[in-house]
Amino acid sequence: MVRTKKLVWLDALMSAATSLYNPEIQKAKEDGRKIVGFMYQELPEEILTAAGCVPIYLRGTGSEGTEFADAYFRQLTCNYTRHTFNQILDGRYDFLDGAVFYNACDHSRRIYDNWKLLPDNPVYHFLYVPKKPGKLAKEFYIDEIKKFIKATEDRFGVEITSERLASAIKLHNKVRCLQQELYAMQQGESVYLTGTELLMVMLAAVSMPRETYAEILEKLIAELKTNQEVFTPKIRLMYAGGHIDNKDSFELLESQGGTIVVDNTGFGSRACAELIREEGDPLEAIIDYYFEEKPAATRQMMTQEARLERAGQLVKDYKVDGVVTARLFMCDIWAFEQFILRSYFNKQNVPVLELEMDYTPEGEGQLRTRVQAFVESIRAGKQDC
């Protein structure tokens, strides 16, 4: 899609998503806000917001190589981890006032281990998030959240009260409601955003202060509706993948005539699918949301059926013609996820393309050819009907 009009608010969010120390973070820093890097998606951002901090998603955006990180990681480590750590070693995260991690996977948690070895590092906590559901696991999780709160209070010299938690929930829910509105605009025959734009708008949410994001997103939705520049995708795709968050990667997937109308990613549709309860005790509401209400992440055990059901529902709701799944080289979590998604959609006769990608697109020509063949096969199938 070639836009004929400049969309100011879309540009603002796209640029926030594609740079680490973006103007909104710089402004927050000047205003005295504390910026805290965190691992997506099971670390409760609301607790950081309640402490007055700006939580931002740690990633390797802007990295062009892994030469520094390669001294710390073997080649068997995924490239999200190596590119992110390379940016850390290159000083691109020097603006951070804190960083928190959790046991997302055995690759990414090593960023924590290695960063802790560096002088003046901002890392102050590691949260253990159980992979299993159940009563015992939840009790353990509650203790972990309390330790996380205490560590954050000590680090920033603030008290995280119930009032502060309640107001953080409201703010994050406001963001989620606006994002839901945006996704609803992608469900019709005509859509307002390309998949690349949609994913970058979602990524911007974890790249800047949430108050500013909510204001800009509200303006963007109004801008899109007023502008009325919609387009009708000929081939509607769903994208599902792990820590791929590079604009160029999504552009590549959309370069052959297919449009990503919806995604199944942690920073995308899963981030806004459910709201946190606003009644009752706010800490309990946050714990319930992250432990059992939010759509499950791929690492969570015994959630396979729910994950597949959700993916199947997205395909129906967004009238998807084909599913593109992508994993980074060496990512075992997404190797399993790709397998179960393929088996599930094969039974439903939904075409699936499985890709292995680098964090920054490499072997571009080969990937382009595979995407082209996939899109062509869907197009031919539609013409036969």
In the complex, the residues that contact ligand SF4 under the rule CB under 6 A are 78, 80-81, 105, 107-108, 242-243, 328, 331, 333-334
What CA–CA distance (Å, rounded) separates 142 from 165? 15
The pair of three-digit structure tokens given for residue 288, joined into one six-digit string? 């319930």
* Residues forming a β-bridge with 327: 356
What CA–CA distance (Å, rounded) separates 107 from 88? 16
Please report how close the Cβ of residue 339 comes to ligand SF4 at its closest, in angstroms.
14
Please report how close the Cβ of residue 108 comes to ligand SF4 at its closest, in angstroms.
4
Closest residue by Cα to residue 49 from 30, 67, 36: 36
Please report how close the Cβ of residue 299 comes to ligand SF4 at its closest, in angstroms.
7
Please report how close the Cβ of residue 109 comes to ligand SF4 at its closest, in angstroms.
9
104 vs 378, beta carbon nearer ligand SF4: 104
65 vs 188, beta carbon nearer ligand SF4: 65
Please report how close the Cβ of residue 107 comes to ligand SF4 at its closest, in angstroms.
4
What CA–CA distance (Å, rounded) separates 271 from 192? 20
183 vs 359, beta carbon nearer ligand SF4: 359
What CA–CA distance (Å, rounded) separates 269 from 199? 9
Helices (H) and strands (E) in the chain, counts: 15, 8
Question: Do 34 and 152 meet the contact criterion of CB atoms below 8 Å apart?
Answer: no
Please report how close the Cβ of residue 70 comes to ligand SF4 at its closest, in angstroms.
16
80 vs 345, beta carbon nearer ligand SF4: 80
175 vs 206, beta carbon nearer ligand SF4: 206
Ranges of beta strands (E only) in the chain are 34-38, 53-57, 98-102, 123-127, 235-241, 258-264, 322-328, 352-357
Helix, strand and coil in the chain, % to nearest 5? 50, 15, 35
Please report how close the Cβ of residue 268 comes to ligand SF4 at its closest, in angstroms.
14
What CA–CA distance (Å, rounded) separates 149 from 213? 24
Q: Which residues contact 384 (CB under 8 A, 6 or more apart)?
A: none
Rg (CA), the chain: 20
Nearest-10 crossing angle of helices 195-205, 8-17: 70
164 vs 327, beta carbon nearer ligand SF4: 327
Please report how close the Cβ of residue 128 comes to ligand SF4 at its closest, in angstroms.
16
49 vs 303, beta carbon nearer ligand SF4: 303
214 vs 252, beta carbon nearer ligand SF4: 252
Please report how close the Cβ of residue 137 comes to ligand SF4 at its closest, in angstroms.
20
Task: Determine the 3-state secondary structure of 36 from DSSP.
Answer: strand
49 vs 84, beta carbon nearer ligand SF4: 84
